[in-house]
A and B are shown apart, each in its own frame.
Chain A
Amino acid sequence: MINPIGSATRPATLVEHFEHGLDAPICLTWELTYACNLSCVHCLSSSGRRDPRELSTEQCEAVIDELRAMQVFYVNIGGGEPTVRPDFWHLLEYAVDHQVGVKFSTNGVRIDLPRARYLASTDYVDVQVSLDGATAEVNDRVRGPGSYAMALRALDNLAAAGFTDAKISVVVTRENAGQLDEFKRIADEHGATLRLTRLRPSGRGADVWDELHPTPAQQRELYDWLVRAGENVLTGDSFFHLAGFGEKLPGLNMCGAGRVVCLIDPIGDVYACPFAIHDTFLAGNVLTDGGFAEVWRTSELFRRLRAPSGGGACASCRFYDVCRGGCMAAKFFTGLPLDGPDPECVQGYGEAALADPARTVPAQRQDHSHRTRPRAAAPVPVQIGARPDPAAPPASPCAESPLAGFRVTD
């Protein structure tokens, strides 16, 4: 990446620019549907059932037109499982034909060989397959029976079709934190790039976060592993809260919510971040508030998020420069103050805060989970429907962490 160009006076760093927000997001996630064929226990958007208010094909096209006008160069498409929308492939083409590149997250359900060949023939499409265990045993406990085989089959098809550099996206949990080398091997074998993201207590993730989030010892090992992996493994903005262990990790080292990061949900609601689906972080709606650009530029919530903040209880921490108090969503959904330490603070302040008996966890605002929610060992219900829309795989955490695949040097 380019160097800012030497100058006697240090130019403001990108992080400083980003804190005031950009004219358009650079890490925009768009969840096309809440429908999903799976029921991952940690799904950040509590997906399962389609929302009847889901944006129509024409409304989606209008969103893409607007993204093009704003010069949003690419969008991370997720869900739910986006590929179960009958118009998914049409919208994909519509986007790339309008100079909006796409990376989409999938559990692999629809990536058969012909689709893989089609994807390999496109230039501006990137595919990310979710996998939460390097073995079926570990993966399927979280993502449901058969989901490991489904993901691996999709990756095999992509590799066989000559699709280069697919992404394998892993949410790091207590159960798979010891499998990082195996994940890397699976990625290498498929000519893919490994992407590790943080388990955040968003959506159904709130129900399992206590049991599944990595232990402090695992966080430390994860950090060391990431330092060794360097730029070969993508992390988006997932682990900047671990920067206090040593040097900064590659990626975005700040919370970009509402500044460079944003979510459009299946019904057109705009949230500050894909991990922050809650009224508190709802900025507006693309249908009722004058379109996405209008919401991005004028929302009161975003104005507040872009205003300078002091750092609160973290301000005096010597790691504040790199950690900045961690992830807003992780704090919010564990009931911690937003201007205090992250629940996984490397200094241990998070654990102390979590132990506070007065802590209350906010209720989830929306839930599209399948009503008969299969827990780990139960079979995954396959819905049968007349339209080709029924089975939708959810991209779990796929949804996207900001800044996937994007590197900044400053």
Chain B
Amino acid sequence: MTEILDQPWELSPSVALRPEPFGALAYHFGNRRLTFLKRRELVEVVRSLGDSPDARTALARAGVPAGRWDAYAVALRGLAQADMIRRRDTGGEER
């Protein structure tokens, strides 16, 4: 269940990130969901998704140790379900 790590992702265009002491708030203007990114590394990862060939690269760039990648895959899937992040260049046929 970690294929998400091999795919290209990006922050959804309707989502804005607001830095906070604990990480960031992500707000989706379309579905009006507010999500809390409770770790700075996760914020780093999410921000660099768009410039990385795949999510794995974004994790590495954010300095997340490989042992934690499975946990991050779960978190990224949660973000994808809320449309906070979406597949890049797939014309909307993600999910």
Contacts and interface: CB of A to CB of B under 8 A. Distances in A.
A101 B54 CA distance: 32
A5 interface: yes
Nearest to A101: B29
B75 A406 contact: no
Contacts of A2: 35-37, 75, 78-79, 82, 84
A405 B38 contact: no
Given A1-B82, A2-B75, A14 B36 contact: yes
Interface in B15-45: 16, 18-22, 25, 27, 29-30, 32-39, 42
Contacts of A23: 18-21
B21 A17 contact: yes
A63 B81 CA distance: 34
Interface string A172-206: 00000000000000000000000000000000000
B72 interface: yes
B74 interface: yes
B29 A26 contact: no
Interface string A17-33: 10010111010000000
A73 B68 CA distance: 31
A408 interface: yes
Contacts of A24: 18
A155 B33 CA distance: 23
A124 B79 CA distance: 20
B1 interface: no
Interface string A121-143: 00110100000000000000000
Nearest to A403: B34
Nearest to B74: A3
B71 A73 contact: no
Contact of B22 (A3, A12, A71): A12
A406 B22 CA distance: 19
Nearest to A24: B18
Nearest to B70: A6
A5 B36 CA distance: 11
B42 A5 contact: yes
Given A4-B39, A20-B21, A406 B34 contact: yes
Given A2-B82, A6-B71, A101-B29, A73 B18 contact: yes
Given A23-B21, A73-B18, A99 B29 contact: yes
Nearest to B75: A5
Contacts of A124: 29
Given A5-B68, A20-B21, A101-B32, 9 more contacts: A4-B38, A4-B39, A5-B71, A5-B74, A11-B38, A17-B20, A17-B22, A73-B34, A407-B34
7 contacts: A1-B35, A1-B82, A4-B38, A12-B22, A14-B36, A71-B18, A73-B29
Interface of A: 1-7, 11-12, 14, 17, 20, 22-24, 26, 71, 73-74, 99, 101, 123-124, 126, 405-408, 410
**Top 7 A-B pairs, shortest CB-CB distance:** A73-B27, A71-B18, A2-B78, A4-B38, A17-B22, A6-B71, A5-B75
Interface of B: 16, 18-22, 25, 27, 29-30, 32-39, 42, 68, 71-72, 74-75, 78-79, 82, 84
